[in-house]
Amino acid sequence: MEFALVLIPFMLLLLGIFDMGRGIYTYNAVSQAAREIARVSSIDMTRGYTPVGTSPDSADVKSTQKALTPGLTDAGIDIDCVDVEDDEPDEDIGCRPGDFVRVRIEVQFAPITPLLGQLGPFELASVSHVEIQ
């Protein structure tokens, strides 16, 4: 009888710990994806690839990060060229050395624990800036 009473809270606790681990892994993967895509896109801008994020190296890194990050799709990746004030430069000027590559990554995380699942999916996001040399 005691086992039946303790089993449900114990299983909820285990599933909650499992969900927390999944959430931390997903958040770390989102942060790493933003940093890695920004780094490669910044290097490619110094090599003359325009617009930002269109080089073959950037495409390879995006596909690798999509494979490593649960739920990441092309729609969740936003790559822009911004200046120091985080404003996009004029289209006539374009990206120049001293500007920054800004990468925003957004992923929906849905817990599987019954109580946390009722709150709905959570949005995990990360932004990374890397200066163009």
Q: Are 38 and 130 in contact (CB under 8 A)?
A: yes
Contacts of 23 (CB under 8 A, 6+ apart): 109, 111, 122, 124
Among 62-66, 108-112, 113-117, the range scoring the smallest mean pLDDT is: 113-117
114-126: average pLDDT: 86
Which pLDDT value is given to residue 93? Answer: 66
Rg (CA), the chain: 20
> Which residues span the domain enclosing 94?
2-131
Q: Which CATH number fits the domain that encloses residue 76?
A: 3.30.1300
How many domains does the chain contain in total?
1
Please check the confidence at residue 1 and state whether its pLDDT lies above 70: yes
What is the reported pTM?
0.85
Which pLDDT value is given to residue 107? Answer: 97
Mean pLDDT, all residues of the chain: 89
Q: What is the pLDDT of residues 81-109, one digit of tens each?
A: 888 887 887 666 667 888 899 999 999 99
